[in-house]
Amino acid sequence: MQRSRAPLLSRFLAYVAAPLLVAYLGLLLVTTYLAQQDLQVATANERRLELEKRAAALSYFYSERRSDIARLASDRALTVFFSNRALGMSMQYGLRASLLSMQGAVEQLLRSETIAGRPLYLRILILDTQDEVVLDVGAPAGAPPPAVDPVPAMPGQVSLRVVQELEGDRVLLTQPVEDRGQRLGAVVAEVSHAEALRSLVQTPGGRPCMVLLARADGAAPSPELGAADPKGGQGARAGEIQVPVADTPFVLIAPNGSSESAGLLVSGRYLGLLAGLAVVVLLVLVIGIRDGSRNLALSIRYEEQQRQSDLLNRQNERLEAEVAQRKKSEAFIRTLVETLPDLVWLKDLSGVFLFCNPQFARLYGLDTTDIIGKTDLDLRGAHQAAAFLRDDPGAIAAGQAGPDEEQVTFAGDGHQAVLETIRSPMYDADGHLIGILGIARDITDRKRAEERLRTLSQAVEQSPVPVMITDPRATIEYVNAAFERMTGYRRDEVLGRNARLLKSGSTQEAVYQDLWGTILSGQGWHGELEDRRKDGSVLCIRSHISPVRDDKGQISHFVGLKEDITVQKQQERKVLHQAHFDALTDLPNRFLALDRLAQLIREARRQAALVAVLFLDLDDFKTINDTLGHEIGDQVLVQAAQRLRSGVREVDTVGRLGGDEFIVLVGDLRDPANARGVAEKLLRGFRESFRVGQRDLKLTASIGIALYPADGETPAELLRRADMAMYRAKEQGRNTYQYFTEALNRRLARRLAVEEQLHGALERRELSVVYQPLMELGSGRIVGAEALLRWQSPVLGTVEPGEFIPMAESSGLIVPIGQHVLREAAETVVAWRRTTGADLVISVNVSPRQLSDRGFAPDVARLLEHARCRGQWLRMEITEGVLLAARGEIDDALQGISALGVHLAMDDFGTGYSSLSYLRRHAFDWLKIDRDFIADLGVDAATGELVSAAIAMAHGLGLHVVGEGVENELQLRGLAERGCDLAQGHLIGLPVLAQALPTELLARPSTDSAAQATPTLAKQPMDIDAVGRPGSKTPPTPPALDHSRHTADL
Amino acid sequence: MPRRSALLRPILQLVPALLAAWLTPLSAAGPARDLDQIQASGVLRHLGIPYANFVTGMGSGFDVELVKGFADSLGVRYEFVDSTWSSAFGDLTGRNAQMDNTGGVQWRDEVPIRGDILASGVTILPWRQEIADFSAPTFPTGVWLVARAETDLNPIQPSGSTQRDIEEVRSALHGRTVLAMEDTCLDPDLYRLRDTGATVILPKQDIKLNEIAPAILNAEADMALLDVPDILIALEKWPGQLKVIGPISEHQFMGAAFRKDSPRLRQAFNDYLERIRHDGTYHNLVKKYFATVFPYYSEFFQPPPD
């Protein structure tokens, strides 16, 4: 069975299986050949793909270098240097600082960029526009500057050039430095090319290179890659793959790998062999079948590789695009985040910092690299960190947290800041939560400003000073509460309205022009305005308005501070009025009147016009005051003022100088006679009685007129001369007017001279006392004398008592002069009595002013005591006028004198009121009949009767009588016949100095009658001169009689 | 309220000044003190005026940190006292003074003493040395003439001699307007500026030194005197807009000023200064506040050899 089966099997194998086997082998051989071809293509593609990846890496490497150089070229230090250098500045004065700053930037780049632990940049140069080297960092000592590219065709682009040198290629990157489109210079950097190639191009593990780098321009490839021969040219050679490196002048070259797979290729020669080996094949049939399966798998693998290759290519392209885009975005975002003044950080969900910008790192005084990887617990105190850790989940839950404010202290410089922080969850592209993003902003300044603003707002709002703020067009934008109180306007009533709402119309337009001119020029304005309250009342305010400028320097607002000075202004006006107007009559006072006179003079000077000054004094007004009281007097003054006011034009001035003196100023006169009409009109105004209470009072006035420029050119001069003219009018009988004349002026000059010389006359011993004898008519005996004052001035000559005594009275000099006379008289009478032994008495005239002095009687007492003179030896003669005043001090003085024993005589009896009551009330011993009566004695019978009556009356009252002014025998006899006691006059004796009166005359007792004595006496005067010098042969000049003799015979 | 806030914000500068005229009281005086009294009182009062990066006015600055460190070294509290250039020496010594036109001191009214040390980028000048004692130099400086870029005056080329350079700059000033500032290191009388025929402009208001450069850019004058630290910062800040014409002064130094009756305080400060120059603190301070100036004067800023 087995034997029969074997041939069958052999035949089967020989006729069936063998051909099948051979066919199968043939088919297998062809299939294998084809698969092998496919494998070669796949290998080449795989090699190309690998090569493209490396080319992309190399391209990216150089793109980063470009970024480095571009960043360096745009570094501010370079811009600063070139900008300042372009201005011509020297290195020594300013430029060196920029250069050093620039050098710092370059060195920073050199230090920061490394590859495989070695510097990436070998050398960086800064060139100017002439390609002169400004800065060369990293070059070996003495190395020449490299030849650089001309300016790149595209501004702002970095050129990359390979320079072939003996030791190999060097890659130079050149970037222009520009500012605002202007080329300032260039940055040239030399890259460590070999290092880049080793890292990026060589296969891992440093296996001998199967990849070559070549220059696209056909130059020699880099020798750093070692084994390969130089090859170049365009297009790949058989068995090679070439891939250009984008944006560089390089290509990568590698064998395509076909030789590796070519060794298994089956040729036609071997087919026969294979057929002959069919048995062998048969034997290895199983193996052959299995190989078929392998071929199939190989084919499938090829298909898969092809598909993968395509996919990888596409992915690679997309990846490259994404990488490029992402790099751009990342660079942009990194620059953005790093230059943001805000603090930015990112934490993962466990609180670990994934990112922060330098501003955030500064908070801790650290670098960003020190922050990343740490948590809040590592960086902050536990308490604060806990707060953060607590807040972060809240931010995630809410989708956002904040803004929160926190006070932090920067660890770097220690300054404190307020940060406003916002936290928000961060998600990746798939929407997965990846962490928490934090952004914090330093709001310290804002907070301070807000705080200050809040404080100031409250201060302004609560300020007691009214504040108003407007826009530049004066539209009110703000007022405070004090403003509301001051004006009565509510805030809502004024906001949005123009500030002219407050204008009262009382302020002069010039003030507003000044105000606006000042504040629009940017200056503050101070001043006073009159505004109007809401109720219409006028409000005086002191205002301070200042412009406020905005950031651009433009005026944006005006701030007005106001102060209500209404009451103050009212008081000022009142004070001003009081200072210029008479309180009683409301007429201008002396000050204002003279001021107006000065104005009138100025105007008149310009217009060549005249000004009349009318000085008006009410006649006998003093009597009204004294008799009816001051209240009545005041009413009279008020009415007089009204009449004066109505008697002149509106433009004329009526003023009150004081008391009952008024002044009327009439300007713009063309003729001096015009003043006459004014004066007459004024006097006419007084014709009507003054009705005061129930009384009708008659009153007149006297007016003096002075004219500018004839009578004076100053107000004081004109006033004084009008005053003089007024006195002249008084002298002329009152109720009239008088122009100032030169005669008046001369009188005034004389008066001034006399007054001036009178002062000191006593001290200069110019005043002397003379004595006129008094004769007792019954016995003819000289019983005394009257002391009389004489003034011999070396300047004025002899000045009559009638002229200087009134001046002494008015000036008060009469008091010391009177004392002097009293002292002289007392001493004289003591001397006379001692030398003669006769009972002599000296009469002395006493002035009202002396009697008004409360110390008068005591002074007299001391004086008498000092002279050892008894009171009875003196007789004081007092005029009736003294008694009219009837003042208490005069009564006291008279009583005091009487108490001293001094005799009192009433002088000038008959010329005044001759009131007998005075004689009775006071202790008078003597009565002196005025010389006017004596002069007519013996001539006029009526006078003789009057004298007789007066003597009889005096005797009836127990008084003795003296007749003065006896100048002839007739008068002497008349007095003697009427029983007069004593006589005095030229007939009896002229006034002489004390030592000149013959002692024997005084001492001689006489029992003769007056008639008998007369011849003797009549001879005496012939021996005495006017000043009492005995023995003079010149007859004395009789003293001139004076109207005011009653006050002049001291 | 936002409207009112916006409205009131511009007047922040103005209203206080106006209200102050009504309301402001005067500050109290303090007695002169040396080291012992300062340590006993526990406080060191630092007089400063906001100026460049010496005193920023924000609680920081080169001199602020310098004096803070000094106060720490003394174990006392630091207190900053704000002053002005015209009153700073009065605040220190109790009597105001200014330079007269001969370069000497013109004494003025007596005022309360408000501080113990004046450190604010104060240049050491002869007239100031008559008023106060100065520490060892804390900072190098000098005064240069700066101009707006478009000014037709060109920077000088250094001759190798500062004095010759100064003369060259001065000879170019005739008929020019130069901004200067009295009572400071930029006082025109310090450099006899008026002798050059230049028209000297003094600021209308009490501006700060670091406002001089902006004033030039603002065309308030053709040129200005300015100290070197300020210039270097300004050149970096406004590149191409300002140019240095050349020097007006020789090399100068800044220092801290002390009352003449505080010799021990001054000595303590000098000791402190020497310490921090050696330990690097001073070096870091300069780099922190004057990064630009540091390389320029690097020789001065290096710690002295032991």
Cα separation, A57 vs A644, whole angstroms? 120
Residues of B in contact with A87 (CB under 8 A): 149, 155, 240, 243
Cα separation, A259 vs A40, whole angstroms? 8
Window 440-469 of A: residues touching B by CB (8 A cutoff) are: 449, 452-453, 456-457, 459-460, 463, 465, 467, 469
**Is B243 in contact with A94 (Cβ distance < 8 A)?**
yes
Q: Which of A90, A469, A561 sits opposite B158 (nearest CB)?
A: A90
**pLDDT of A664 strictly over 60:** yes
**Is A463 in contact with B19 (Cβ distance < 8 A)?**
yes
**pLDDT of A1038 strictly over 70:** no
> Whose CA is closest to A68, among A119, A117, A118?
A119
Cα separation, B196 vs B178, whole angstroms? 11
Q: Which two tokens stand for residue A103?
A: 């050098």
Helix axes B15-23, A444-462, angle to 10 degrees: 50
**Higher per-residue confidence, A240 vs A481:** A481
> Whose CA is closest to B203, among B190, B214, B192, B191?
B214
pLDDT at position B23 is: 33
Cα separation, A204 vs B41, whole angstroms? 73
**Is A93 in contact with B144 (Cβ distance < 8 A)?**
yes
A631-640 per-residue burial string, b: 16 or more CB within 10 A, e: under 16:
ebbebbbbbb
Helix (H) or strand (E) run with residue A599 in it = helix A590-607
- Tokens 């000065």 correspond to what residue? A598
8 Å CB contact between B143 and B225: yes
**pLDDT of A481 strictly over 80:** yes
| Among the ranges given (A370-384, A797-811, A871-885, B19-33), the one the predictor scored with the smallest mean pLDDT | B19-33
CA angle A1047, A1049, A1050 (to 5 degrees): 95
- Going A297 to A303 to A304 to A306, the CA torsion angle's sign is positive
For A803-830, write each residue's pLDDT tens digit.
899 889 888 899 999 999 999 999 999 9
Q: Which of B9, B155, B293 sits opposite A87 (nearest CB)?
A: B155
pLDDT at position A1011 is: 42
Q: What DSSP state is assigned to residue A1035? A: P
**Is B18 in contact with A452 (Cβ distance < 8 A)?**
no
Q: Which of B12, B165, B295 sits opposite A100 (nearest CB)?
A: B295
Segment A299-328 shows an average pLDDT of: 82
DSSP string, A836-874: H----EEEEE--HHHHHSTTHHHHHHHHHHHHT--GGGE
pLDDT at position A237 is: 61
Which parts of B193-301 are beta strand (E)? 199-201, 223-227, 242-247, 252-254, 257-258
Residues of B in contact with A416 (CB under 8 A): 59
Cα separation, A265 vs A820, whole angstroms? 174
Q: Which two tokens stand for residue A648?
A: 């002149």
Chain B closest CA to A494's CA: distance in Å? Answer: 15
**pLDDT of A105 strictly over 60:** yes
- Tokens 């058989």 correspond to what residue? A238
pLDDT at position A703 is: 95
Q: Which of A92, A465, A548 sits opposite B10 (nearest CB)?
A: A548
| Among the ranges given (A246-250, A449-453, B151-155, B262-266), the one the predictor scored with the smallest mean pLDDT | A246-250
pLDDT at position A1017 is: 38
For residue A428, the tally of other CB atoms under 10 A from its CB is: 9
Q: Which two tokens stand for residue A692?
A: 């005061």
**pLDDT of A593 strictly over 70:** yes
CA angle A698, A700, A706 (to 5 degrees): 165
Window 164-223 of A: residues touching B by CB (8 A cutoff) are: 179
Residues contacting B162, CB < 8 A, separation 6+: B247, B250, B251
Is residue A18 very low, low, confident or very high in pLDDT (cuts 50, 70, 90)? low
Chain A closest CA to B198's CA: distance in Å? Answer: 21
Nearest 10 degrees: Cα torsion B15, B20, B22, B28? 170
Chain B closest CA to A183's CA: distance in Å? Answer: 14
Alpha carbon A861 to chain centroid, angstroms: 72
- Tokens 């050199």 correspond to what residue? A110
Q: Is A428 on the interface with B (CB under 8 A)?
A: no
Cα separation, B5 vs A451, whole angstroms? 11
For A842-896, write each residue's pLDDT tens digit.
999 998 888 888 889 999 999 999 999 999 999 999 887 777 665 678 888 888 9
- Going A471 to A477 to A480 to A482, the CA torsion angle's sign is positive
Q: Which of B14, B16, B155 sits opposite A90 (nearest CB)?
A: B155
Question: With pLDDT > 90 as the criterion, what percentage of chain A qualifies?
Answer: 25
**Higher per-residue confidence, A828 vs B287:** A828
**Is B155 in contact with A415 (Cβ distance < 8 A)?**
no
Residues of A in contact with B244 (CB under 8 A): 89-90, 93-94
Chain A closest CA to B56's CA: distance in Å? Answer: 12
Segment A588-611 shows an average pLDDT of: 92
Residues contacting A511, CB < 8 A, separation 6+: A527, A529
pLDDT at position A227 is: 33
Cα separation, B64 vs B57, whole angstroms? 9
> Whose CA is closest to B108, among B90, B83, B82, B130?
B90
pLDDT at position A198 is: 65
Q: Name the amino acid, one letter, at A33.
A: Y
For A436-461, write each residue's pLDDT tens digit.
888 888 888 888 888 888 888 888 88
Q: How many CB pairs under 8 A join A and B?
A: 127
Classify A637 as helix, strand or coil: helix
> Could you tell me where the DSSP H helices lie in A957-1030?
969-977, 999-1003, 1010-1019
- Tokens 């062998």 correspond to what residue? A280
Q: Which of A79, A97, A556 sits opposite B232 (nearest CB)?
A: A97
Cα separation, A675 vs A740, whole angstroms? 12
pLDDT at position A826 is: 95
Q: Is B157 on the interface with A (CB under 8 A)?
A: yes
8 Å CB contact between A404 and A421: yes
8 Å CB contact between A682 and A613: no
**pLDDT of B126 strictly over 80:** yes
**pLDDT of B4 strictly over 50:** no
**Is B154 in contact with A88 (Cβ distance < 8 A)?**
yes
Window 82-101 of A: residues touching B by CB (8 A cutoff) are: 83-84, 86-94, 96-98, 100-101
Is residue B289 very low, low, confident or very high in pLDDT (cuts 50, 70, 90)? confident
**pLDDT of A479 strictly over 90:** yes
Q: Is B11 on the interface with A (CB under 8 A)?
A: yes
Q: Which residue of B has its CA nearest to A561?
A: B18
**Higher per-residue confidence, A397 vs A1049:** A397
pLDDT at position A169 is: 59
Q: Is B293 on the interface with A (CB under 8 A)?
A: yes
Residue A1038: left (phi > 0), alpha (psi -120 to 50), or beta? beta
> Whose CA is closest to A614, among A577, A655, A670?
A655
Q: Is A238 on the interface with B (CB under 8 A)?
A: no
Residues contacting A892, CB < 8 A, separation 6+: A854, A857
Q: What is the ipTM of this complex?
A: 0.75
Residues of A in contact with B58 (CB under 8 A): 415
CA atoms within 13 A on the CB side of B195: 10
For A323-365, write each residue's pLDDT tens digit.
888 788 878 887 888 888 888 888 887 778 888 888 888 877 8
> Whose CA is closest to A680, among A647, A726, A650, A718?
A647
> Whose CA is closest to A334, among A364, A376, A370, A368?
A368
Segment B152-174 shows an average pLDDT of: 90
**Is A559 in contact with B11 (Cβ distance < 8 A)?**
yes
For A545-575, write each residue's pLDDT tens digit.
999 988 888 888 999 999 889 888 888 888 8
Q: Which two tokens stand for residue A516?
A: 């606006």
8 Å CB contact between A95 and A83: no
**Is A469 in contact with B7 (Cβ distance < 8 A)?**
yes
pLDDT at position A446 is: 85
Q: Which two tokens stand for residue B131?
A: 């008023």
DSSP string, A865-898: HHHT--GGGEEEEEEHHHHHH--HHHHHHHHHHH
**Is B4 in contact with A459 (Cβ distance < 8 A)?**
no
Q: Which two tokens stand for residue A657?
A: 């100088």
For B201-228, write each residue's pLDDT tens digit.
887 655 666 678 878 887 777 789 998 8
Cα separation, A143 vs A133, whole angstroms? 12
For A941-954, write each residue's pLDDT tens digit.
888 888 999 899 88
Cα separation, A417 vs A436, whole angstroms? 23
Is residue A219 very low, low, confident or very high in pLDDT (cuts 50, 70, 90)? low
8 Å CB contact between A222 and A169: yes
- Please give the model's pTM, rounded to 2 decimal places: 0.39
Nearest 10 degrees: Cα torsion A963, A966, A969, A974? -30
The average confidence (pLDDT) of chain A is: 79
| Among the ranges given (A27-31, A127-131, A924-928, B189-193), the one the predictor scored with the smallest mean pLDDT | A27-31
Alpha carbon A325 to chain centroid, angstroms: 63
Cα separation, A588 vs A656, whole angstroms? 6
**pLDDT of A204 strictly over 90:** no
Q: Which residue of A has its CA nearest to B159?
A: A92
- Tokens 């480095």 correspond to what residue? A68
Classify B158 as helix, strand or coil: coil
Cα separation, A1 vs B79, whole angstroms? 126
Segment A730-745 shows an average pLDDT of: 85
Q: Which two tokens stand for residue A937?
A: 């004695």
Cα separation, A697 vs A700, whole angstroms? 10
**Higher per-residue confidence, A615 vs A302:** A615
Segment B117-139 shows an average pLDDT of: 92
Classify A422 as helix, strand or coil: strand
> Whose CA is closest to A447, among A392, A413, A411, A408?
A408
